[in-house]
C-alpha cells in the first residue's frame, strides 16, 4: 500500500519577468574586440588594394599614392589593432605563452595561426613601406643622417636602399601573393575566432566571416577614397586628384557582397534557424532594430551604394561621404554581431544592462591617438617623387 503524504506549502506568486531575466554574466569580449576586428579588417583591405594595384604594373610609379601609402597605413592599423588586444587580455604574458607553450593542439585553434600570420603581416608591411619609397630619395635621407645613426637607419629599413624587389620578378610575385594571403586572413581572423567561441551559437556561422571580409575590402578602397589626397599632400607636398575608377567599384563590390550576405543571413535565421538563431533574429528586429537600421543598413550599405553607383559617384564630395559611411557601417556591423551574440548567451540581461566601461573608452582613445601619431611619423619618411600634374600623371621635363 502506498501512502500519500501531503504537506502544506505556502503559495508563491509568480515573479516579475524582469526578475527572471535579471541575471548578469560577464561578456567574453568587450568593444575592444570590435576595435581590433575593425582595424585588422581595414589593414587587410588596404593590403588587398595594394596587391591589386601592384599586379597592374610591372614597376611601381613613384607618384602612385596607393603604392606608396598603403604599407604605412597597414603598419599603423595593425599596431593599433594589437594595442586593443593587449588591453582586452590584460596580461600580455598570455600571448607570449601562446607562442611558447600553445602548440599542443595547433591545428584546432585559429589563434595559433593568428599569432604567426599577423606579426608576419606587420613585418612584411614594415619592409614594403621602404621598398615602395623611391630608392634615390631613401638613399639621400639616410646619407643626410649623422654618421652614428646610419647603421640604425639601415637596420630599421632592412637595407632597402640597396635593392628593389621590382628587379626580381619571381620575388615580387611571391611578395604580392603573400600580401594577398595576409589581406584575406586579417579580416577573416576575428570572425573565425568568434566562430570558435564556445557557448555563443549565433557566432557559429560563416555569414559573419564573409561580411567581415567583404567590408574589409570596401574599407580598403574607402581609405583611399577619403584620405589619399590629404595624406599624399602631407607626405610629399604635392597635390593629387581624388581617386576614382577601380577603387570606387571595389568598394561597391565589397558592399554588394556584404549586403546580400547580411539580408540573406537574416532571412535564413528568421525562418529556418535554430532557437538561438530565432532569438538573435528577434533581437535584431526588436531592441537592436534602430541600431541595425540606421548605423548598418542605411549608413553602412544604402547610402554608400547609392552615392557610388549613381552619377553622384563622379562628385569627389559624394565619394568622400560614401567612404566615411563605409568606415562607419563596417564598425557598426562588428559591434552588432559582437553584442548580439553575447546578449542572449545565457540570459536576457546581456542587452538590457549593457554600458560602456570607462577603461574601454580610454583604451579606444589611446589606440586612435597612437594610430594618428605613428602615421604622422611615417609620413615624414623621404618618399621622393617626380612632379605630377593634377591627374597624378608624372610630368616630364618638357611638361614642367
> pLDDT at position 104, please?
58
The pTM of the full predicted model, rounded to 2 decimals, is 0.85
**Averaged pLDDT for residues 172-179:** 95
Distances (CA, A) of 285 to 55, 98, 291, 330, 340: 44, 39, 10, 19, 11
Note the Cα 235 to chain centre separation in Å.
23
Kindly list the distances between the CA atom of residue 247 and the CA atoms of 218, 223, 252, 333, 359, in Å, as whole numbers in the listed order: 9, 10, 9, 22, 37
Reported as a pLDDT band with limits 50, 70 and 90, residue 59 is low
Residue of 343 and 323 predicted with greater confidence: 323
Residues 262-315 have pLDDT tens digits of: 999 999 999 998 888 888 998 899 889 999 999 999 999 999 999 999 999 888
Q: Are 33 and 208 in contact (CB under 8 A)?
A: no
The answer to whether residues 117 and 199 touch, using CB atoms and an 8 Å cutoff, is no
Instruction: Tell me the three-class secondary structure of 92-106, residue by residue.
Output: HHHHHHHHHHCCCCH
Residue in the block written with cell 621602404 = 130
Q: What is the pLDDT of residues 209-245, one digit of tens each?
A: 999 999 999 999 999 999 988 898 888 888 877 777 7
Cα Rg of the chain, angstroms? 25
Domains and their CATH numbers in the chain: 27-378 (1.20.1630.10)
pLDDT at residue 42, as a whole number: 97
pLDDT of residue 157 exceeding 70: yes
> What's the pLDDT band for 395 if we cut at 50, 70, 90?
very low
Q: What is the pLDDT of residue 18?
A: 42
| pLDDT at residue 389 is higher than 60 | no
Closest by CA to 191, choosing from 33, 56, 61, 76, is: 33
Q: Which three cell numbers stand for residue 70?
A: 598603403
pLDDT at 105 (0 to 100)? 53
d(CA 319, CA 308): 7
Per-residue pLDDT averaged across 2-26, rounded? 44
pLDDT at 22: 41
Amino acid at each position: 500500500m502506498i501512502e500519500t503524504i501531503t504537506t502544506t506549502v505556502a503559495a508563491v506568486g509568480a515573479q516579475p519577468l524582469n526578475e527572471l531575466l535579471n541575471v548578469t554574466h560577464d561578456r567574453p569580449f568587450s568593444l575592444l574586440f570590435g576595435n581590433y576586428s575593425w582595424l585588422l579588417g581595414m589593414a587587410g583591405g588596404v593590403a588587398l588594394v595594394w596587391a591589386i594595384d601592384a599586379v597592374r604594373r610591372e614597376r611601381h610609379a613613384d607618384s602612385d599614392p596607393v603604392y606608396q601609402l598603403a604599407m604605412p597605413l597597414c603598419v599603423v592599423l595593425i599596431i593599433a589593432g594589437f594595442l586593443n588586444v593587449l588591453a582586452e587580455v590584460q596580461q600580455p604574458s598570455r600571448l607570449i605563452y601562446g607562442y611558447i607553450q600553445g602548440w599542443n593542439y595547433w591545428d584546432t585553434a585559429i589563434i595559433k595561426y593568428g599569432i604567426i600570420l599577423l606579426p608576419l603581416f606587420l613585418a612584411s608591411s614594415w619592409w614594403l613601406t621602404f621598398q615602395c619609397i623611391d630608392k634615390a630619395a631613401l638613399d639621400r635621407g639616410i646619407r643626410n643622417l649623422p654618421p652614428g645613426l646610419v647603421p640604425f637607419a639601415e637596420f630599421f629599413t632592412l637595407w632597402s636602399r640597396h635593392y628593389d624587389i621590382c628587379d626580381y620578378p619571381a620575388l615580387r610575385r611571391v611578395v604580392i601573393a603573400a600580401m594577398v594571403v595576409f589581406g584575406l586572413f586579417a579580416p577573416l581572423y576575428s570572425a573565425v575566432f568568434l566562430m570558435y567561441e564556445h557557448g555563443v551559437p549565433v557566432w557559429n556561422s560563416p555569414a559573419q566571416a564573409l561580411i567581415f571580409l567583404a567590408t574589409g575590402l570596401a574599407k580598403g578602397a574607402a581609405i583611399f577614397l577619403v584620405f589619399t589626397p590629404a595624406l599624399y599632400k602631407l607626405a610629399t607636398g604635392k597635390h593629387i586628384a581624388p581617386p576614382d575608377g577601380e577603387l570606387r567599384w571595389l568598394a561597391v563590390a565589397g558592399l554588394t557582397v556584404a549586403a546580400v550576405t547580411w539580408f540573406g543571413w537574416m532571412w535564413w535565421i528568421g525562418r529556418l534557424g535554430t532557437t538561438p538563431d530565432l532569438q538573435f533574429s528577434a533581437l535584431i528586429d526588436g531592441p537592436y532594430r534602430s541600431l541595425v537600421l540606421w548605423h548598418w543598413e542605411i549608413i553602412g550599405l544604402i547610402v554608400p551604394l547609392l552615392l557610388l553607383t549613381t552619377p553622384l559617384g563622379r562628385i569627389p564630395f559624394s565619394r568622400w561621404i560614401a567612404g566615411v559611411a563605409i568606415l562607419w557601417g563596417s564598425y557598426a556591423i562588428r559591434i552588432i554581431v559582437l553584442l548580439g551574440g553575447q546578449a542572449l548567451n545565457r540570459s536576457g540581461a546581456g542587452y538590457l544592462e549593457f554600458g560602456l566601461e570607462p577603461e574601454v573608452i580610454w583604451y579606444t582613445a589611446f589606440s586612435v591617438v597612437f594610430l594618428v601619431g605613428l602615421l604622422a611619423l611615417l609620413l615624414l619618411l623621404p618618399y621622393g617623387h617626380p612632379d605630377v600634374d593634377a591627374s597624378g600623371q608624372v610630368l616630364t621635363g618638357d611638361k614642367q
